[in-house]
Amino acid sequence: MKLTERQRKFLRARAHALKPVIALGDKGITQGLIDELDATLEHHELIKLKVRTGDRETRDAAIEQLCADSSAVLISRVGNVATLYRPRRAKPGIVLPAAGSD
Cα angle 95, 87, 70 (rounded to 5 degrees) comes to 160
pLDDT at residue 84, as a whole number: 98
Amino acid at 10: F
pLDDT at residue 60, as a whole number: 93
Helix (H) or strand (E) holding 84, with range, is strand 81-85
Query: Over 70: is that where the pLDDT of 53 sits?
Result: yes
CATH superfamily to which 5-85 belongs: YhbY-like (3.30.110.60)
Give the count of beta carbons closer than 10 Å to the beta carbon of residue 98. Answer: 9
pLDDT at residue 102, as a whole number: 53
pLDDT in tens, 55-75: 899 999 999 999 999 999 999
pTM of the model: 0.92
Q: Quick one: pLDDT band at residue 25, thresholds 50, 70, 90? A: confident
Closest to 12 measured CA to CA, from 89, 88, 81 = 81
pLDDT at residue 101, as a whole number: 58
Cα angle 78, 84, 90 (rounded to 5 degrees) comes to 165
pLDDT at residue 37, as a whole number: 96
**What distance in Å separates the CA atoms of residue 66 and residue 34, rounded to the nearest whole number?**
7
In this predicted model, which residue has the larger pLDDT, 98 or 11?
Answer: 11
Closest to 96 measured CA to CA, from 9, 21, 18, 37 = 9
